[in-house]
Amino acid sequence: MVRVKRSKTARKKRKKTLKATKGFKWGRKAKYRAAKEALMHALTYQYRDRRRKKREFRALWQTKINAACRVLGLTYSKFINLLKKNKIELDRKILANLAENKPEVFQEIVKKVTTKSSFQEDKENN
């Protein structure tokens, strides 16, 4: 078998890894073996957390909406149900933003939804 000298490609590969680990703490930015391991974990966490971030934000929005609804005497699940029944298509991100920054607008939405639903219930009962 012929011998393969890897000097150029190996150096390029190592430099690429060390460049990617710039900013890491301690030896993980300078020592190739430690850097390779740290980078492998970092890329795994990065991939996983891009998906996790979406879950965490949705949960945060739901909490904000629920807190704002409770002040107005309504639960989160009933509020979302009323929105769907009245065909108001506002997503949770927008609703949470309104609840936090413009409570008067959020209150109007809740009022509109609850008055429509009580009107519909009266109609169904008669």
pLDDT band at 61 (very low <50, low <70, confident <90, very high): very high
- Whether 123 shows a pLDDT value over 80: the answer reads no
Residue 6 lies in a domain: no
Helix-strand-coil split of the chain, %, nearest 5: 80, 0, 20
Average pLDDT over the chain, rounded to whole? 93
Residue 64 lies in a domain: yes
Q: Model pTM?
A: 0.76
Name the residue range of residue 100's domain: 11-125
- The structure tokens listed for 119 are 């009107």
Provide the number of structural domains found in the chain. 1
Alpha-carbon distances of 23 from 20, 75, 85, rounded to whole Å = 9, 46, 51
- Whether 124 shows a pLDDT value over 80: the answer reads no
CATH number of the CATH domain containing 101: 1.10.1900.20
pLDDT at 1: 83
